[in-house]
Amino acid sequence: MKIALIGRFGEGDIIPWPERVARELFAELREINLEVVFIEYFFKGYSSTSLVKRIFGHTSLNHDNSIKRLGIFPLLLSLITKQYDVIHLVNLQRFFLFIFLAKPFIKSRFVATLHSLLKLELQFANLFISRNFIDLYVEKLIIKKSDLLIFPSCILLNQFREYFKISENKWKIIPNGAGKIFGKLDTFFPPVKDSLNCVFYNGFTDSIMRGVNDLFDLLKESKNKIKLYIIGNPVPDIHSMGNLEVIYSKLKNQKELIEFLRDKHVLIKADAFDSFSITTAECMTLGLIPIITNKTGIKDFIEHGVNGFIYDKSAPFDFGLVKILSDISNGKYDLNLISCNAKKIYGELNWINISSQYIKAYTTLS
């Protein structure tokens, strides 16, 4: 089976999670010796690109030419002449428009992984502007013209079904996985001493609403001492007050993140939609205890009070997030046991398992 993964591979070792999914899947498919290539585009933001390269460029990014960066003409020529069995669109990109225009000449079957509903993402981030029309149109083409759609969670699938008609035989749920480096470590849950050390991932920019302001409003009411480590995009209006100490930290690569998390206790997700949180999966693999809401796709892998906690933002004070944090700080739960249970998630959400699900999905198209 000849497979072409197409999308954004990214530059550097600190990248958004749709690109992480693309890299992890490609690496695992290569490791089991499948005939697979990764093809990406000469994106404008890359360090070495130009108009000529975006049209005619062709370069290899690794020694065996399995990762390629192509301009539009070489890309289309490759897809038409190579006749891959499966073309997998791994993260939504504007240049897919050219691929769909050439689709009548491409005999491959099309698979697409969808990480978010762009219409809602742009709406929530106040980015619904004219230049996004192409992105929205590409999203519509993906739904209409792909042979198989992959969603990381049921809640994302249900979102899409509110806007698109998707037949039952055209979709599969395949979750995202935690990186291999996280599953190789034997970590221990640090004792809770002066404060409960909490982590919140706030991404690269404020273009995605992650709910950090609402979370801050909840946490500042805590009577227990909390240290909130916000990784990524800083928020000017959020700062230390009362029993809440706010500490900002830059985005990190995988090795830096592992070292950073050694003395942290919990990962908190705000009451904002998240189709699937790789950060949560990887923190759990290291033994951090997740505290999330039902708006997070990974909720299907978390059992309240067993390997993490699920809270309701609208719940009364005695049953909400602050109460959970208070009970944790005051020793109501066996944190070592919950931490050990959290680590077990790697048995399900590792890339060997995830890639095998993708391979099964590919074979259903032959």
Helix, strand, coil % in the chain, rounded to nearest 5 = 40, 20, 40
Nearest to 339 by CA among 167, 186, 113: 186
pLDDT mean over 87-104: 97
Given this chain, do its domains 2-177+350-363 and 180-347 carry the same CATH topology?
A: yes
| Residue 206 pLDDT exceeds 80 | no
Q: Work out the pLDDT band at 318, boundaries 50, 70, 90.
A: low
Q: Work out the pLDDT band at 184, boundaries 50, 70, 90.
A: confident
Residue 200 to residue 321: CA distance in whole angstroms: 14
Nearest to 328 by CA among 346, 312, 345, 304: 304
Starting at the edge strand that comes first in sequence, how are the strands of the sheet with 35-41 ordered? 58-60, 67-70, 35-41, 2-6, 86-89, 109-113, 148-151, 171-173
pLDDT for the residue numbered 269: 96
pLDDT for the residue numbered 34: 86
pLDDT for the residue numbered 320: 87
pLDDT for the residue numbered 319: 66
Starting at the edge strand that comes first in sequence, how are the strands of the sheet with 226-231 ordered? 244-249, 226-231, 196-201, 266-268, 289-292, 309-310
pLDDT for the residue numbered 24: 96
* Residues 91/23, Cβ–Cβ less than 8 Å: no
For residue 289, with 0-12 CB atoms within 10 Å meaning exposed, 13-18 middle and 19 or more buried, which class applies?
buried
pLDDT for the residue numbered 352: 96
pLDDT digits (tens, 9 = 90+) for 121-130: 776 555 555 5
How many CB atoms sit inside 10 A of residue 107's CB? 12
Q: Work out the pLDDT band at 197, boundaries 50, 70, 90.
A: very high
pLDDT for the residue numbered 186: 86
Q: Both ends of the chain: CA-CA distance in Å?
A: 9
180-347 maps to which CATH number?
3.40.50.2000
For the chain, give every domain's residue range.
2-177+350-363, 180-347
* Whether CATH 3.30.1390.20 fits 2-177+350-363: no
pLDDT for the residue numbered 316: 65
The secondary element (H helix, E strand) that includes residue 361 is helix 351-363
pLDDT digits (tens, 9 = 90+) for 160-174: 999 999 999 999 999
